[in-house]
Structure formats: structure tokens, C-alpha cells
């Protein structure tokens, strides 16, 4: 990589650099460096030198204007082997072709089938919440999102294989942040690679069945999907995408839902507003998933709360890229080969873009205010540009459906004198899982 001596910042110890501080308190690390060096600075983690670019203009430059000159695959180098072939780890024509094919699995009709399939699972989950008033939220929500992934992706009940599959995913996520990529059975990275093999074997057997007898699940849609040129995906390519999708649908959605439940406990007024909104939809829907799907868009305030929570608690706090050519950003030269990071959480909490940024205020996303539109690319929980999350509509529907069932059945609050502590790497979530008291309405 070209020299970065012209960029301010320190890289710390050889190899280790800021890795330990990054894993423990990334927000504190980056905030301190910004105070010292400004919005562009260098640092070192996992044995690599990085340039951090803060601000909405940096998001626009890297993710939109010069996106073809920044590699997502090389940016996510730490997870390349674990999530090989996933859409986020593709660039250029390969990414464009695969994204065109994968879009078939996220069309309106397909999404409607997914909601219909998820609805009874979420209803059953909601009933079981009544069996205990004290709940540790994050692991419970992770169980639910994994079950929903099984139903949506494969039309299979993951209950019998829940721990087996869940552990494989957990091992892969943990392996993605280990600084030592030593592929041995007893290492964190080795366990992650073994987890990938578990998922590959599991998905491979199901693909053969869906090729012969397709249904309405996502795997069937992927087996049948083509783009405008008539291209299809091979079995191996489908498996690669499914491994990435199931991680995203499982971990990032669980992170978001947990944060939403936390914010609604902290702001009971908003919890009640959403409950009233959901009760109006409930009067029109009955129990059918199709009817609920048609009315989820009516949950306007619920949508605001989801957006505001993602602003305050984005599951991923940064986006990495790697420069493929020499470029100039504002007054800074970015040499080819530079590893670049964009900080989502910083832009989401910047008083330059948001009024009272530390406050929980869903109204900022209402049509009348629309703070997120005043400075494009300051708000980017799903990314931006060519790599804007393909499953963002599905994630929104899933979160609304879960909240719909929880809100119409329960009120919840935090235990007295309890303040959860969040961990931010690799996925934001409360360290102790978030303890909560649920009460039947």
C-alpha cells in the first residue's frame, strides 16, 4: 500500500495498533482521534493500516460517487473466507449480475408469502412470552429470528436443529473479528470455518429438494430466479448467498429488534402510541398473514421508531472499503490500496445533521420534519449506492410484524436501577442480553 504519511493520526504498536481499543470501546477510540486529528485520520487494527473518513460527504464520495473505485470485497477482507461469495463481498459486474438475479427473492409477491409464513411463528413466540415475566431479550429474539429464517428461507422448522445451526452462525460471527486467522479446530477462526461447513452441508441437501419441488420459500425463489439476460445461480452460488443472508437476517435483525424494545421501555409514551396504532390495524386484519401484510405499511409511527432506533443503534457501526485507484477526497489524497472506513454511528449522532442528536425522537422521521432527508447520506443504516441492502424492505416488514404482536399483547419495562451496557463489535447488542419485565396487557 502507498504511504499514508500525509494523513494525520497514529498507528500505535506494530500489528496490534488500536485493535484492543477498537474491540473494547470503538466509539471512544474514534471520538478521541477525531478530536485530535479532525474528520480524516489513520489508525491501525488487525495488522492493517486504515484511513477513517467521517461525515456525510465521505459516505457520498465512497459509497455513491466513486463506488466503482472502492472494493467492498477487499474492504471486508477480515470476513472474505468466512462469507465467501456473499453479495456484500462482490464487486463490479459480478455484483451487478448476482444482485439482478437475487432481486427476484425480494419482490412484492415473494415478501407477501414470507409475511404469511412468519405470522404464525411470531404469534406462537408472543404467546410463550406470557409464561415468564422476566425476560433476557437478545437471546430470545435471536431464537425467534433464526426460526423465522428457517421458515422464510427453507420452509423448515429450525426448532429441532436450532442450537446446531445457531452455534454455527455464532462461531462464524465471532471468527469475523478475531485478529488471528489460524484455521485450526480449537481456534476461534477454525470454529468459524467449521461453522461455514456445517451450513454448507445443511443447505446443500435442501437445494436438491427445492430444485425438484419448489415452493414459496426464498430458496425456491433463488433456484428459479433469472435476470434479464436469463442468467441463473449455481448451487454453490446459492449456498454462498444463503450463508450471508441467514447471518444478516438472524444477527442484525435481532440486534435491531432488541434495541427497539429497549428504547420503547425507556420511552413508555412511545410504547403506548405504537400499541394504539397496532390496535387499529388489528381491528381490520384478523389473524391472516396476507391481511396483516397489506396493513403493515399503515404502521407509520412504528416505522418512525424503527428508523430512529437504527439511527441511535445501527447494528454495524462502520463500513469498510478499499481504494482501487488513486483519488482525491476534498483536500486529501487517497492512494490506491488504502483501506477506508466510514463511521455510521458518528454521522447518526452528529449535531451538524440532527437536532438534539442524543435524544430519542421518532418524529424527526415524520413527513413534516424529515431530518434524514436534509443531508443525504448522513443516515445510512442499510448502506448506500450499489451496495444498499437488498433485504431492507424484508427487514422492515419482519420488525413491524414482531412489534405488532408484542405490542398488542404486552407492556414492558426495565428492572429498577438497571442500565444495560452495549457492546459494539461485531454486532451491537447489550452485553448481558437486556433484562426486561413483560406484563400481559
CATH number assigned to the domain comprising residue 314: 1.10.630.10
pLDDT digits (tens, 9 = 90+) for 37-46: 999 999 998 8
User: What is each CA distance from 294 to 91, 104, 116, 357, in whole angstroms?
Assistant: 35, 20, 11, 33
pLDDT at 441: 83
Q: Which three cell numbers stand for residue 229?
A: 439476460
Average pLDDT, the chain: 90
Q: What is the arithmetic mean of pLDDT over 377-398?
A: 94
Q: What's the rounded mean pLDDT across residues 244-265?
A: 92
- Position 304 in a domain: yes
* 315-326 mean pLDDT: 95
The residue segments making up the domain with residue 347 are 54-440
Q: Please calculate the CA angle 349-353-354 and round it to the nearest 5 degrees.
A: 65
Q: State the pLDDT at residue 185.
A: 86
Most confidently predicted of 209-213, 408-412, 426-430: 408-412
Examine residue 426 and say whether the peptide bond preceding it is cis (omega within 30 degrees of 0): yes
Query: What percentage of the chain carries pLDDT values higher than 70?
Result: 95
What's the start-to-end Cα distance of the chain, in Å? 60
Flag whether pLDDT at 13 surpasses 80: no
Average pLDDT over residues 106-126: 92
**Helix or strand run (H / E) with residue 328:** strand 327-329
Using CA atoms, how far apart are residues 361 and 278, in angstroms rounded to an integer? Answer: 19
Residues in the chain: 441
Residue 23 lies in a domain: no
Tell me: pLDDT of 12 over 80: no
- Flag the least confident range among 114-118, 196-200, 229-233, 306-310: 229-233
Which residues contact residue 388 at a Cβ distance below 8 angstroms, ignoring those fewer than 6 apart? Answer: 382
CA neighbor of 407 nearest in space, from 294, 266, 271, 309: 271
Whether pLDDT at 421 is above 50: yes
Indicate if the pLDDT at residue 394 is higher than 70: yes
Residue 275 pLDDT exceeds 70: yes
Under 8 Å between Cβ of 329 and 58: yes
Would 221 be classed as within a structural domain? yes
The secondary element (H helix, E strand) that includes residue 423 is: strand 422-423
Specify the higher pLDDT residue, 130 or 122. Answer: 122
Percent share of the chain, pLDDT over 90:
66
Q: How far apart are CA 317 and CA 345, in angstroms?
A: 5
For residues 12 and 191, which has the higher predicted lDDT (pLDDT)?
Answer: 191
- Specify the number of domains making up the chain: 1
141, part of any domain: yes
Mean pLDDT, residues 316-330 taken together? 95
Does residue 18 lie within any of the structural domains? no
pLDDT band at 208 (very low <50, low <70, confident <90, very high): confident
72-76, 244-248, 304-308, 310-314: least confidently modelled range: 244-248
Q: Domain for residue 133, yes or no? A: yes
Statement: residue 413 has pLDDT above 80:
yes
pLDDT at 305: 98
What is the reported pLDDT for 284?
43
Asked if residue 12 belongs to a domain, the reply is no
pLDDT for 162 equals: 67
Domain-located, residue 391:
yes
pLDDT value, residue 283: 43
Asked if 245 and 150 count as a contact pair (C-beta separation under 8 A), the reply is: no
10 has a pLDDT exceeding 90: no
Amino acid at each position: 500500500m502507498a504511504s499514508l504519511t500525509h494523513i494525520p493520526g497514529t498507528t500505535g504498536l506494530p500489528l496490534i495498533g488500536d485493535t484492543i481499543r477498537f474491540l473494547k470501546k470503538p466509539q471512544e477510540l474514534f471520538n478521541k482521534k477525531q478530536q485530535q486529528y479532525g474528520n480524516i485520520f489513520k489508525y491501525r487494527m488487525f495488522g492493517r493500516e486504515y484511513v477513517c473518513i467521517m461525515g456525510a460527504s465521505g459516505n457520498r464520495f465512497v459509497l455513491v460517487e466513486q463506488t466503482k473505485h472502492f472494493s467492498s470485497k477487499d474492504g471486508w477482507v477480515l470476513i472474505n473466507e468466512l462469507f465467501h461469495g456473499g453479495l456484500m463481498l462482490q464487486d463490479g459486474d459480478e455484483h451487478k449480475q448476482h444482485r439482478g438475479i437475487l432481486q427476484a427473492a425480494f419482490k412484492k409477491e415473494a415478501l407477501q408469502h414470507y409475511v404469511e409464513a412468519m405470522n404464525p411463528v411470531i404469534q406462537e413466540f408472543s404467546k410463550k412470552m406470557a409464561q415468564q415475566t422476566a425476560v433476557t431479550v437478545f437471546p430470545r429474539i435471536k431464537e425467534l429470528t433464526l426460526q423465522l429464517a428457517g421458515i422464510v428461507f427453507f420452509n423448515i422448522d429450525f426448532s429441532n436443529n436450532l442450537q446446531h445451526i445457531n452455534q454455527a452462525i455464532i462461531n462464524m460471527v465471532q471468527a469475523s473479528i478475531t485478529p488471528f486467522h489460524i484455521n485450526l479446530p480449537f481456534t476461534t477462526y477454525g470454529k468459524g470455518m467449521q461453522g461455514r461447513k456445517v451450513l454448507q452441508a445443511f443447505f446443500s441437501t435442501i437445494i436438491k429438494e427445492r430444485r425438484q419441488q419448489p415452493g414459496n420459500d426464498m430458496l425456491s425463489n433463488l433456484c428459479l430466479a433469472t435476470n434479464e439476460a436469463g442468467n441463473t445461480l449455481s448451487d454453490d452460488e446459492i449456498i454462498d448467498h444463503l450463508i450471508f443472508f441467514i447471518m444478516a437476517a438472524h444477527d442484525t435483525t435481532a440486534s435491531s429488534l432488541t434495541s427497539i424494545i429497549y428504547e420503547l421501555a425507556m420511552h413508555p409514551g412511545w410504547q403506548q402510541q405504537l400499541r394504539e396504532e397496532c390496535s387499529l390495524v388489528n381491528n381490520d386484519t384478523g389473524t391472516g398473514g396476507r391481511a396483516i401484510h397489506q396493513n403493515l405499511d399503515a404502521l407509520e409511527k412504528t416505522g418512525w421508531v424503527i428508523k430512529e432506533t437504527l439511527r441511535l443503534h445501527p447494528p454495524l457501526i462502520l463500513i469498510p472499503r478499499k481504494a482501487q485507484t488513486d483519488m482525491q477526497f476534498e483536500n486529501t489524497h487517497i492512494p490506491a490500496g488504502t483501506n477506508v472506513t466510514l463511521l455510521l454511528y458518528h454521522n447518526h449522532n452528529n449535531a451538524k445533521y440532527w437536532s438534539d442528536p442524543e435524544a430519542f425522537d421518532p418524529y424527526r422521521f415524520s413527513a413534516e420534519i424529515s431530518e434524514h432527508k436534509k443531508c443525504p447520506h448522513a443516515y445510512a443504516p442499510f448502506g448506500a449506492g450499489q451496495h444498499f441492502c437488498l433485504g431492507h424492505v424484508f427487514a422492515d416488514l419482519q420488525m413491524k410484524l414482531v412489534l405488532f404482536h408484542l405490542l398488542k399483547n404486552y407492556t414492558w419495562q426495565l428492572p429498577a436501577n438497571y442500565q444495560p451496557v452495549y457492546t459494539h463489535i461485531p454486532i451491537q447488542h447489550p452485553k448481558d442480553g437486556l433484562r426486561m419485565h413483560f406484563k400481559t396487557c
